[in-house]
């Protein structure tokens, strides 16, 4: 949120009190922490302590090289909701000098000035890598009695900011305003399904704001020399995470918030969907699957989208008897073909669902202030929302999923979870604004827990919305894109941005969800999609079976589905050792592998697939593509030609090819 009117003035109706003078600072040796009281002006006498308000500051460390900053204005209210953090046992050293106090953890020292020039700096290996000075911490009084806490961290010349969730805007976030607020906005808007209040920079550190409500980031925008983040709250905490490499930053961030498990090998194969509003029954589904087999296209998972249930009744978790009279028998027949089965679900209960009255009477639905069930007609008529803060509601929701798993279903597509209202009452009394983003976490946790209970290590969801820690319950896909090259490119930007937000796996709708792709878009997207973490053919009003596009689409799909099958041993090694072991994403921006190469800082139309494979999707019908190879020798995966890197290359590719290069001295792949 923007509070100022240019550099000098404050917006009408707002007032700001900036941290200015450390009144006292204590070393809490038994807790490995520093506690400080900060006034918003220079206090020269006793009278100046009156009528000003203060900020309580606390510094400690949950992990080597990570400093936690806790700031509070008024501490008498209910503390802000935070995401779960894994505490470790770092060695912390506290020091006090004439003009500062400091906390050292690993290689990082946080130094708080105690002179009349307030400053909080973060140092490592002989240099200051981040700093909060004038206007670095502020109390903001806003119209309608609202109050915000705002923090600013300085940016150096040439410092780029990345991450903040799955964002489809520019890959480098400088110049943007980013609101951490889950929304169902598609991939062609500034809204995002997966908002993560974590960013990292090419200066070797990351920042995680541990607040579940709306956090607004002004990234080199309101104050062009700084990143500002603010929230409507009286207390907030954030973590300064030193790397210095992107891999090390992500390793430490995911040590705090969690890492993705090693997913079952079958999940990395090709997924085929019924698509959304298309007409389908068992005969249709069987025809799709049998034709994929006849065309020798390896298929791993078949997904039933919304209309496996009867219209108006989403969700009732019952197969529509008109089109699926024998679901248990059908699933057995499909599984006999070697397939896994995925079903679409969401956390909503339409009024026509037989479960609505059951959930209403038991108190399992979100309520309005007057005690009535919160409902609207968007999506399903009389739509209501399950209250997952109610332990009994979670247990009830799980009880509806177990019969499906027993029937033969292997996983669920946990759709939606973004449009969560704030004019509601939660069972546990949670702040609705702070629950908006957190809702998807407990929704997906509920489904994940029952999958782990029944499927064990085979548990997997296919989720759209997420919050910090969501990476522990993979996999996530990019949401509603369109059938164009532009949307294909924005999908990739979103995935790369999410990968720099701690998520190890990511997928997208091959060919685009909205519209029907022309043959060129579909075939180029097939190559990109099958060289992504997870690969799914899915659309809205039209199916994505390749023969519905053109004949060549069949051979292109066969080639790249077969290629991904060949890469499975490589993918599984990367998943175990890097995604799960260290928090490094499977699909990763070039800067993750080559942070020393300045050119990689700007690349968002190519990526590394694991540490060894460079992929440059083709975004043109003609097949012309320009991409960058970092220094070293690279081997063309298809031709085995060896070329020198450290330069840009321009190539032309048919639909059955794209730039795919093996890195010299590859870690897991043999040339």
Catalytically active residues, by annotation: 415, 418, 480
Question: Residue 460, Cβ neighbours under 10 Å: how many?
Answer: 25
Tokens coding 43: 């206090």
Report whether 382 contacts 356 (CB < 8 A).
yes
Tokens coding 527: 């190559």
Alpha-carbon distance of 568 to 559, in angstroms, equals 15
Alpha-carbon distance of 508 to 518, in angstroms, equals 18
Burial string for 469-505 (b: 16+ CB within 10 Å, else e) reads bbbbbbbbbbbbbbbbbebbbbbbbbbbbbbbbbbbb
Residue 157: which of 202, 199, 110, 218 has the closest Cα? 202
Strand bridging mode 215-219 / 235-242: unpaired
Q: Which helix (H) or strand (E) holds 282?
A: helix 282-294
DSSP 166: S
**Cα 580 off chain centre by:** 16
Alpha-carbon distance of 202 to 162, in angstroms, equals 8
Strand partners, 148: 140
Alpha-carbon distance of 500 to 161, in angstroms, equals 10
Report whether 618 contacts 527 (CB < 8 A).
yes
Distances (CA, A) of 586 to 226, 531, 572, 580: 31, 10, 10, 10
| Residue keyed to tokens 């090693």 | 262
């Amino acid at each position: 949120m923007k509070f100022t009117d240019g550099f000098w003035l404050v917006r009408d109706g707002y007032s700001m009190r900036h941290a200015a003078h450390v009144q006292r600072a204590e070393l809490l040796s038994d807790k490995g922490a520093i506690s400080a009281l900060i006034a918003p002006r220079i206090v020269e006498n006793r009278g100046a302590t009156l009528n000003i308000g203060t900020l309580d500051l606390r510094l400690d460390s949950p992990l080597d090289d990570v400093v936690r900053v806790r700031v509070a204005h008024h501490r008498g209210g209910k503390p802000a909701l935070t995401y779960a953090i894994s505490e470790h046992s770092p060695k912390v050293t506290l020091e006090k000098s004439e003009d500062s106090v400091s906390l050292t953890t690993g290689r990082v020292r946080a130094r708080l000035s105690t002179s009349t020039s307030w400053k909080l700096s973060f140092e490592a290996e002989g240099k200051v890598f981040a700093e909060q000075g004038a206007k670095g911490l502020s109390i903001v009084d806003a119209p309608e009695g609202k109050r915000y806490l705002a923090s600013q961290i300085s940016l150096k010349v040439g410092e780029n900011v990345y991450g903040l969730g799955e964002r489809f805007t520019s890959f480098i976030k400088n110049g943007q305003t980013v609101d951490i607020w889950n929304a169902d906005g598609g991939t062609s808007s500034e809204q995002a399904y997966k908002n993560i209040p974590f960013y990292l920079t090419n200066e070797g550190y990351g920042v995680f704001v541990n607040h579940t409500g709306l956090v607004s980031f002004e990234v080199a925008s309101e104050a062009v020399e700084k990143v500002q983040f603010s929230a409507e709250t009286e207390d907030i905490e954030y973590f300064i995470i030193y790397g210095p490499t992107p891999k090390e930053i992500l390793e430490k961030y995911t040590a705090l918030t969690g890492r993705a498990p090693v997913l079952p090998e079958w999940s990395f194969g090709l997924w085929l969907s019924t698509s959304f509003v298309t007409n389908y029954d068992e005969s249709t589904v069987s025809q799709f699957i049998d034709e994929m087999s006849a065309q020798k296209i390896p298929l791993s998972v078949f997904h039933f989208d919304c209309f496996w249930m009867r219209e108006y009744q989403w969700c009732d978790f019952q197969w529509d008897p008109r089109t699926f009279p024998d679901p248990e028998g059908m699933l057995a027949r499909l599984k006999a073909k070697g397939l896994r089965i995925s079903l679409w679900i969401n956390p909503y209960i339409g009024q026509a669902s037989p479960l609505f009255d059951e959930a209403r009477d038991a108190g399992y639905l979100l309520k309005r202030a007057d005690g009535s069930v919160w409902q609207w007609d968007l999506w399903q008529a009389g739509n209501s929302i399950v209250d997952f803060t109610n332990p009994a509601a979670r247990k009830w929701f799980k009880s509806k999923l177990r019969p499906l798993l027993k029937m033969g279903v292997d996983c669920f597509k946990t759709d939606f979870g973004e449009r969560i209202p704030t004019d509601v009452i939660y069972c546990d009394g949670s702040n609705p604004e702070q629950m908006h983003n957190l809702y998807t976490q407990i929704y997906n946790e509920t489904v994940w827990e029952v999958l782990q209970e029944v499927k064990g290590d085979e548990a997997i969801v296919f989720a759209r919305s997420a919050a910090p820690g969501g990476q522990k319950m993979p996999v996530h896909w990019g949401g509603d894109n369109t059938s164009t090259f532009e949307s294909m490119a924005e999908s990739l930007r979103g995935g790369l941005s999410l990968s720099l937000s701690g998520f190890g796996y990511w997928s997208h709708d091959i060919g685009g969800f909205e519209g029907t792709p022309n043959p060129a878009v579909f075939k180029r997207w097939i190559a990109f999609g099958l060289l992504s973490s997870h690969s799914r053919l899915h659309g809205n009003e039209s199916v994505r079976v390749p023969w519905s596009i053109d004949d060549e689409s069949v051979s292109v799909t066969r080639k790249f589905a077969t290629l991904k099958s060949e890469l499975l041993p490589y993918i599984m090694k990367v998943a175990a050792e890097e995604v799960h072991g260290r928090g490094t994403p499977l699909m990763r921006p070039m800067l993750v592998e080559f942070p020393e190469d300045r050119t990689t800082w700007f690349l968002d139309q190519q990526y590394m697939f694991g540490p060894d494979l460079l992929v440059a999707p083709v975004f043109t019908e003609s097949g012309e593509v320009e991409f960058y190879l970092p220094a070293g020798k690279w081997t063309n995966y298809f031709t085995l030609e060896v070329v020198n890197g450290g330069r840009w290359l321009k190539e032309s590719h048919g639909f059955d090819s794209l730039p795919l290069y093996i890195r010299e001295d590859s870690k897991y792949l043999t040339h």
